[in-house]
A and B are shown apart, each in its own frame.
Chain A
Amino acid sequence: MNGAQAMIQCLDQENIHTIFGYPGVAIAPFYEALYGSDVRHVLVRQEQNAGHAASGFARISGRPAVCVTTSGPGALNLITAVATAYADSIPLIAVTGQVARRLIGRDVFQEADVIGAMEPFTKYRYMVRRADDIPRVMKEAFYIASTGRKGPVLIDLPIDVQQEELTQPFHYPEDVSIRGYKPHIKGNGQQLRRVLQALKAAEKPLLCAGGGVISSGAQDLVRSFCEKHGIPAVTTMMGIGAFPSAHPLYYGMIGNNGRSYANKAMSESDLLIIAGARVADRAMPNTRRLEETAKVIHIDIDTAEIGKNIGPTIPLVGDLRDVFQRLLDQELQLDTSTWREALAGWKDAAVDHRVHSPRLVDPNTLVQKLTARMDPDAVYCADVGQNQMWSAINYEMKEGRFLTTGGMGTMGYAVPCALGARMAAPDRQTVAVCGDGAFQMSFNELATAQAEGVPMKVVVMRNHYLGLVKEYQDKNYGGHHSGVTLGDGPDFGKIACAYGMSYYEVSENQALDRILDRFLQDPGSALLVCQVDDVNNTK
């Protein structure tokens, strides 16, 4: 058995049956071993999308997903997707081919220092120097990617290591022992008692759920905790889905583009529980003030998140499932009725300052009507830009998933993410929603979906602008629209036709119900273009 065959064996051991990739010479032995194996290889149309598709797959399957590229340019194209997964804490295994060991460092054809280049964007990296190391490296890589704070792990495989015969019979290790990696799972008991003390003394407690609540699978526990103690909740963008939209304790998304009453709840609360959020500037721009006005409890599995952007009163490191299970076991007798009344009042009194054009399709209405019609457990993949803000604000969460890149904000994410998500759950309704800018960054993956027989539903909000930058220029640069005009082309109907998709177009709100029904009920792949007036804005 050679190194490449050992890689396939390891994938089998990890129950990986689908991988996303793009071959080249430096990874050819791996592709040779793949040939005739049980692993399904999905040939993407650009390497970055192999990473995004794996991200969608990982988020829906709840396990690390694998993407593969060749050395040099192939690996370099993958970086943006790996960095996106890193920022969003998505478990990926990125396998890249590398030139032969003896040539490393000589600037030969398609050689790049991928380990060095990806160091800031990966949880860990392996340069495999012996085929015998492959089983251990793969076992460790899957373990590191999927435990603690999840994230991408890179495996750089020189071509001659892929060809090298193993000197020992293949054995996949059962356990992992890494001296420097012992994730803190169990929350510290003393800190937990401090949290309870603070909760008991709180009059205006608020929970802010981040993406960690979803990646740890703690949604039910966090929800039950809030319900048991009457604690209202808000979420960050990555935390969308932690609460159903209609939940009586849920007050929406915070941040620059969030709900005004959610932000007011943050600034008025006297005890803020931040669960699995990294407290980035778009979500919480004014952390200094929060430190002064509220006691802050920061719960995260990543010790280094504590104190990075906000100085918490009570830090608590641990897995959210463990922490909230133990918090749930406690009796607190909180009376938050006055606080909740105030919140409900702010919600009712909230004023929408955004521009809503009476022309064409209102993007807010579009997302509301679309998500109201989607299956309760559907997957909604939101891209980046104004469309992301409209999606995040108006998405109606039932039992589904809202997948977007809140951390890195990488345009072009939605289409490949939806492809991966759909492949992880072929029977689950999946819809990608993009703007016309982002769509044009990755619609080439519609060819992948077509070739793989994966039905895709893609909604494009079309306003012929890079809308979020245009909006920024309107506010900050006197309306100078510099470099944001997309023009009139291309003909999206022809694009749909070229990729074998049904095409729908809607340019008035009155037609939305009818067209959305037809679009969602279409048995195959379908593209829906919604004409949106460019004066609509997000805040």
Chain B
Amino acid sequence: MKGIYSVLVENRAGVLAEIARLFARRNFNIESLAVGETDRHDTSSMTIVSSGDQRTLDQIEKHLNKRIDVIKVRRLEERDALSLEMMLIKVAYSVSTRSQIMEICSIMGASILHLSPRHMVIELHAAHEKIESFIDLVRPFGILEVQRTGTISMSRK
């Protein structure tokens, strides 16, 4: 099972490390973790995606809540969550492959941020699965570098 946690934390030194260590120490899995400030400077928001059986996912929520620097934990149901990930991907091209790649970008809603004589940098923000498919689609052309933010999520409610 997948668990998506939207976690409000104190924006303080060491809090990210503390949360990461909690997962490591208790053998909880981290599939992705994204963190940034909210509209308040003293508060950060994290989206943590994990997986495990029901008991593990419950324990993750409880142990997050137990941290004193954690202000609030929301467990998001996959169907209720709007989830998005951003990726920058550098792909090699030649004259013969350029238009194919551009076609994939256009179908997938990705945009080309930068074009060099031999490679291009593409930006895509989409759901996790779509990002995965995009990577598969451009893999044959030669991927030079990938940077992903990890998933951020918000409840529709």
A178 with B68: CB separation less than 8 A: yes
Binary CB contact string for chain B from 78 to 119 against chain A (1 if under 8 A, 0 otherwise): 000000000000000000000000000000000000000000
Closest chain B residue to A179 by CB distance?
A: B71
B67 with A180: CB separation less than 8 A: yes
Q: A116-B17, A120-B21, A120-B25 are in contact. Are A304 and B63 (CB under 8 A)?
A: yes
- In this complex, the interface size class of chain B, counting residues with CB under 8 Å from chain A, is 20 to 34
Instruction: Tell which of A120, A124, A303 touches B68, judged by Cβ atoms closer than 8 Å.
Output: A124
A302 with B66: CB separation less than 8 A: yes
A218 part of interface (Cβ distance < 8 Å) = no
B66 with A303: CB separation less than 8 A: yes
CA distance A144 to B72 in the complex (A): 18
Find the residue from A115, A304, A311 having the highest chain B CB count within 10 A. Answer: A304
**Cβ of B58: which chain A residues have Cβ within 8 Å of it?**
307
**Cβ of A127: which chain B residues have Cβ within 8 Å of it?**
13-14
**Cβ of A178: which chain B residues have Cβ within 8 Å of it?**
68
Closest chain B residue to A115 by CB distance?
A: B14
Closest chain B residue to A140 by CB distance?
A: B68
Instruction: Tell which of B10, B17, B62 touches A307, judged by Cβ atoms closer than 8 Å.
Output: B62
B19 to chain A, nearest CB (A): 11
A63 part of interface (Cβ distance < 8 Å) = no
Closest chain A residue to B64 by CB distance?
A: A304
CA distance A180 to B64 in the complex (A): 10
Binary CB contact string for chain A from 366 to 379 against chain B (1 if under 8 A, 0 otherwise): 00000000000000
**Cβ of A179: which chain B residues have Cβ within 8 Å of it?**
10, 71
A311 with B66: CB separation less than 8 A: no
A119 part of interface (Cβ distance < 8 Å) = yes
A311 with B55: CB separation less than 8 A: yes
A180 with B14: CB separation less than 8 A: no
A109 part of interface (Cβ distance < 8 Å) = no
A304 with B10: CB separation less than 8 A: no
CA distance A302 to B14 in the complex (A): 23
A409 to chain B, nearest CB (A): 19
A306 with B21: CB separation less than 8 A: no
Instruction: Tell which of A120, A181, A304 touches B59, judged by Cβ atoms closer than 8 Å.
Output: A304
A308 part of interface (Cβ distance < 8 Å) = yes
Binary CB contact string for chain A from 299 to 328 against chain B (1 if under 8 A, 0 otherwise): 000111011100100000000000000000
A307 with B59: CB separation less than 8 A: yes
**Cβ of B14: which chain A residues have Cβ within 8 Å of it?**
115-116, 119, 127
A462 part of interface (Cβ distance < 8 Å) = no
CA distance A312 to B57 in the complex (A): 16
A218 to chain B, nearest CB (A): 21
CA distance A127 to B18 in the complex (A): 14
Which residues of A, 151-193, contact B by the 8 Å Cβ criterion?
178-181
Closest chain A residue to B18 by CB distance?
A: A119
A123 with B25: CB separation less than 8 A: no
Closest chain B residue to A129 by CB distance?
A: B13
CA distance A303 to B18 in the complex (A): 19
Which residues of A, 267-321, contact B by the 8 Å Cβ criterion?
302-304, 306-308, 311
CA distance A120 to B65 in the complex (A): 16
Instruction: Tell which of B25, B62, B68 touches A144, judged by Cβ atoms closer than 8 Å.
Output: B68
Q: A119-B18, A181-B68 are in contact. Are A303 and B62 (CB under 8 A)?
A: yes
**Cβ of A307: which chain B residues have Cβ within 8 Å of it?**
55, 58-59, 62
**Cβ of A181: which chain B residues have Cβ within 8 Å of it?**
68
Q: A144-B68, A179-B71 are in contact. Are A119 and B21 (CB under 8 A)?
A: yes
**Cβ of A308: which chain B residues have Cβ within 8 Å of it?**
59
A180 with B69: CB separation less than 8 A: yes
CA distance A127 to B69 in the complex (A): 14
B21 with A123: CB separation less than 8 A: no
Binary CB contact string for chain A from 115 to 138 against chain B (1 if under 8 A, 0 otherwise): 110011001100100000000000
**Cβ of B71: which chain A residues have Cβ within 8 Å of it?**
179-180
Closest chain B residue to A180 by CB distance?
A: B71
Instruction: Tell which of B17, B18, B55, B62 touches A304, judged by Cβ atoms closer than 8 Å.
Output: B62
B70 part of interface (Cβ distance < 8 Å) = yes
Instruction: Tell which of B10, B13, B62 touches A306, judged by Cβ atoms closer than 8 Å.
Output: B62
A180 to chain B, nearest CB (A): 5
**Cβ of B59: which chain A residues have Cβ within 8 Å of it?**
304, 307-308
**Cβ of A115: which chain B residues have Cβ within 8 Å of it?**
14
Which residues of B, 8-41, contact A by the 8 Å Cβ criterion?
9-10, 13-14, 17-18, 21, 25
Closest chain A residue to B42 by CB distance?
A: A179
Closest chain B residue to A303 by CB distance?
A: B62
A180 with B68: CB separation less than 8 A: yes
CA distance A179 to B59 in the complex (A): 21
**Cβ of B9: which chain A residues have Cβ within 8 Å of it?**
180
A182 to chain B, nearest CB (A): 10
Find the residue from B58, B66, B69 having the highest chain A CB count within 10 A. Answer: B66
**Cβ of A124: which chain B residues have Cβ within 8 Å of it?**
68
**Cβ of B68: which chain A residues have Cβ within 8 Å of it?**
123-124, 144, 178, 180-181
A203 to chain B, nearest CB (A): 29
CA distance A311 to B25 in the complex (A): 21
CA distance A68 to B153 in the complex (A): 44
CA distance A178 to B10 in the complex (A): 10
CA distance A307 to B25 in the complex (A): 17
A280 to chain B, nearest CB (A): 15
Instruction: Tell which of A116, A144, A303 touches B65, judged by Cβ atoms closer than 8 Å.
Output: A303
CA distance A39 to B157 in the complex (A): 55
CA distance A15 to B25 in the complex (A): 36
**Cβ of B67: which chain A residues have Cβ within 8 Å of it?**
180
CA distance A536 to B67 in the complex (A): 45
Find the residue from B63, B65, B69, B70 having the highest chain A CB count within 10 A. Answer: B69
5 A-B pairs, CB-CB below 8 angstroms?
A127-B14, A181-B68, A302-B66, A304-B65, A304-B66
* Chain A interfacial positions (CB closer than 8 Å to B): 115-116, 119-120, 123-124, 127, 144, 178-181, 302-304, 306-308, 311
The 5 closest A-B pairs by CB, nearest first: A304-B62, A180-B71, A181-B68, A179-B71, A304-B66
* Chain B interfacial positions (CB closer than 8 Å to A): 9-10, 13-14, 17-18, 21, 25, 55, 58-59, 62-63, 65-72
New contact pairs (5) apart from A116-B14, A120-B21, A303-B66, CB-CB < 8 Å: A120-B25, A124-B68, A178-B68, A180-B67, A302-B66
